[in-house]
Amino acid sequence: MAIHVIDFTAEPQETSERRLADLPGRVVAGDPHHVTRMRHTSPDGTCLAGTWTSTPGKWHAFTDRDEFCFIVSGHVRLIAEDGHEQEFRTGDSFLIPNGFRGYWQVLETTTKHFLIRDYAPA
């Protein structure tokens, strides 16, 4: 099987939508809705890449992963459990390392490209 470079402007492998409040205990403020366009999933399911869009809200960050993000549009704040805050806007990129505990806060509807290395138990 030939392996090709993943083009993020091409049609995604799959698209999913969810209301984050449907995950019990996750949302802290607002009613964020997410659309995820998966561009790549490794054969073992631990490497994921795609494009994600969220409406405003605040929620507990997911854990057990490294996540690299590039903000295509929008404005977000990441808040560590010790209170340290960092804001990112259109054109910014950052890495959330495995072990981060805290919150995502989408301040204005945001789209990001992401690459995740998932360490969650199967």
Q: What is the pLDDT of residues 77-108, one digit of tens each?
A: 999 999 999 999 999 999 999 999 999 999 99
Q: Is residue 73 part of a domain?
A: yes
Q: Is residue 29 part of a domain?
A: yes
Nearest to 21 by CA among 45, 51, 56: 56
Nearest to 50 by CA among 1, 100, 94, 6: 6
Residues 6+ apart with CB under 8 A from 53: 34, 35, 36, 109, 110, 111, 112
87 backbone dihedrals φ, ψ, rounded to 5°: -110, 145
Count of residues making up the chain: 122
Q: Is residue 7 part of a domain?
A: no
Range of the domain at 65: 14-118
Q: Is residue 94 part of a domain?
A: yes
The 10s digit of each residue's pLDDT in 45-73 is 999 999 999 999 999 998 899 999 999 99
- 105: number of Cβ within 10 Å: 21
Q: What's the pTM? A: 0.91
CATH code of the domain in which 114 resides:
2.60.120.10
Number of domains in the chain: 1
Q: Is residue 55 part of a domain?
A: yes
Residue 7, pLDDT > 90, answer yes
Q: Is residue 54 part of a domain?
A: yes
